[in-house]
Structure 1
Amino acid sequence: MKEDQIRAAVCDVCHKIWQQGWAAANDGNVSVKLGEGRFLATPTGISKSMITPEMLVIINEKGELLQGDRKPTSEIKMHLRCYRERPDAGAVVHAHPPTATGYAVAGIPLDSYSMIETVIAIGSVPIAPYGTPSTAEVPEAIAPFLAEHDVLLLQNHGALSVGCDLQCAYYRMETLELFAKISLTAHLLGGAKEIARPDIERLIGMRASYRVSGRHPGYKHYH
């Protein structure tokens, strides 16, 4: 994909994030690996509803500006840590989807193996410990989880997803928020009923046939 196409795709994802109510004001950020130590990222200080291709910036692996007339997102350290820990990652999405973020604020991991699609796609979703935004605390908090997880909740903050490309990272954020909504509904109805362990293992084993990229924690609870 050419750079202008990638820029357009990033803007499309940003607009979707805003339209779905996953980011208010200047919240949320998106980045894509361009290769050769170059990354395309959203700038700081602008609503995701207003992002246009020329506003995006290019940075290096140190977060230094290579191209563009705006500063990169203040959460760029978190994005770069994802790429450092996960060489297979081609894109990173950070947003505040309300239901999933509600779980992060409540300190409740989304680790019930109760929905077939989620078991296959992402497995359990832990909560990375609290870190002050834009500092090194957030990258340090998420690092231990990235070896096994493509999706994380950020304590009192929001959610993070990585993918082999931008579409994959965005879809994982969609999957997370839908699962959070279903989990909350199940809780209100008396609690989710977990799938039998042998069936869980069988579902996880189907990832290869479905060509699901990325990492999976296997069967793991965080409560």
Structure 2
Amino acid sequence: MEKKVETPEEREHKLRLLICDIGRNLFNKEYIAANDGNISARLSESEVLATPTGVSKGYLEPHMLVKVNLAGDILEAHEDYRPSTEVKMHLRVYRALPGMGGVVHAHPPFATAFAIKGEPLDKMMMPESVIAMGDIPVAQYGTPSTEEVPDSLEPFFGKKSAVLLESHGAITWGKDVMAAYMNMERLEYTAKLTFLTRMIDGERELSPKRIEELVALRSFYGM
């Protein structure tokens, strides 16, 4: 039986639904509050779907998403919906990393606490975190909605997929928007475990030999 080829319209609709699902997950996990955070996904080589400004990501509907090009020009927007001014950092990721297909910005509480403190999550304590994430750095503070924030990410392109934003929150990216979302979950889980182990005076890194073994597994797991 011949496999049906997905049309561009069908792909876009599925992607819109997925972004809405991710928005609800971020909201329900309390990674964002009110209308905080933003999500985007690469639709084509030059088009990006992004969440609108002023809307709770827990109550997104597919028609609310806006379509922009890599320069930030609005290609398609329903009624009064406009992209967040923070889409700048999403677009910087896409321009710098053509292989990336999704970006998530949120304020997960444990990770954001470390971002406010200005402390990276650089202790290699758990195998899964070492394999999937490695250390998570802190990008230098920039005023939200300005080019300072995208500029602060430049040193990490091609090296990291998750970054704390000093005094702001966190941003993650991945080969698609689901990968970007899972990186946000991993980042917050790492921050939470770091906090909890410190509470019981149990923060303890793996040995250099074990860390080296885990890093070698990254390519095996497609990281």
Sort the TM-score into its range (normalised by shorter chain).
over 0.9
Question: Which residue, 137, 140, 149 being the options, matches 1:126?
Answer: 137
Q: Which moved more, 1:102-111 or 1:186-195?
A: 186-195
Question: Which residue, 81, 105, 112 being the options, matches 1:94?
Answer: 105
Secondary structure at 2:188's aligned position in 1? helix
- 1:115 alignment counterpart: 126
- 2:153 alignment counterpart: 142
Paired residue type of 1:23: I
Paired residue type of 1:166: V
Paired residue type of 2:105: H
Structure 1's unaligned 5+ residue stretches are 213-223
Q: TM-score, normalised to structure 1's length?
A: 0.93
- 2:68 alignment counterpart: 59
Q: TM-score, normalised to structure 2's length?
A: 0.93
Question: Which residue, 4, 7, 10 being the options, matches 2:16?
Answer: 7
In the TM superposition, structure 1's runs of 4+ consecutive aligned residues that sit over 6 Å from their partners are: none
Question: Which residue, 68, 81, 92 being the options, matches 2:77?
Answer: 68
| Cα shift at 1:191 | 4.1
Secondary structure at 2:57's aligned position in 1? coil
- 2:38 alignment counterpart: 29
Q: Which moved more, 1:149-158 or 1:139-148?
A: 139-148
| Cα shift at 1:201 | 0.9
Secondary structure at 2:103's aligned position in 1? strand
Pairwise CA RMSD: 1.0
| Cα shift at 1:37 | 0.4
Secondary structure at 2:59's aligned position in 1? coil
C-alpha distance in 1, partners of 2:55/2:165? 22
- Larger Rg over CA atoms: 2
C-alpha distance in 2, partners of 1:177/1:10? 19
Secondary structure at 2:43's aligned position in 1? strand
Q: Deviations over 1:136-181 (max 9, x none)?
A: 0100011111221100000000000000011111111001111111
Secondary structure at 1:202's aligned position in 2? helix
Structure 2's unaligned 5+ residue stretches are 1-5
| Cα shift at 1:206 | 0.6
Task: Give aligned-pair identity as a percent.
Answer: 44
